[in-house]
Amino acid sequence: MPLDLTFFPHWNLVHVDYFGCATVGNIVRSYSDMMSHPEAGRLRYAINDLRSLENLNVFYEGMSHMARTISADAALRPAPWEIAIVSTQRGMTRILTDYCAQVSRAGTARCGLFSDIPAAVDWLGVSRDVMDLSVTDGRLIMDARPSDRRPTA
């Protein structure tokens, strides 16, 4: 699956790092993996980092279903779910903006789209210290995953 999940229980935070090409199926599986993790009950904040995603191969109905699922699950949580999506690709803006609106509409979760990590962290209302935490591959949250693309001659 083209993503890594890193949990930070002290911060009630999960960092989801997407890379390469992701589909609705990948997103559903990552959400299922996250919710089945032993720390899932403590989570309140999520940073969905799409800065290294080359292609988001999704469709409106699939993303709408995912948004409804997240909103319904959020209604069962003791505190509102806060989800920040970070993407630098303009081609993804329309569907991600719509997705955030759908997640937020029920009032059980908040979802926002940002072009950089500092803005996302500030919106979440967590300390900027989280930007210096190490994710699964050893990078800091602040640092984007290096591209696997090789320069062409």
138's torsion region: left (phi>0), alpha (psi -120 to 50) or beta?
left
Low-confidence ranges of the chain (pLDDT < 70): 1, 147-153
Q: Using CA atoms, how far apart are residues 124 and 85, in angstroms rounded to an integer?
A: 11
Residue 151 lies in a domain: no
Structural domain that includes position 108: 3-128
Closest by CA to 130, choosing from 1, 13, 22, 48, is 13
Residue 146 lies in a domain: no
Residue 144 lies in a domain: no
Residue 41 lies in a domain: yes
Per-residue confidence (pLDDT) for residue 153, from 0 to 100:
38
- Strand 13-23 and strand 3-8: pairing? antiparallel
pLDDT-above-70 percentage for the chain:
95
Per-residue confidence (pLDDT) for residue 118, from 0 to 100:
97
Closest by CA to 42, choosing from 84, 78, 67, 6, is 78
Q: What is the count of structural domains for the chain? A: 1
Residue 124 lies in a domain: yes
Residue 95 lies in a domain: yes
Per-residue confidence (pLDDT) for residue 91, from 0 to 100:
85
- Per-residue pLDDT tens for 114-136? 999 999 999 999 999 999 999 98
CATH code of the domain containing 91: 3.30.750.24
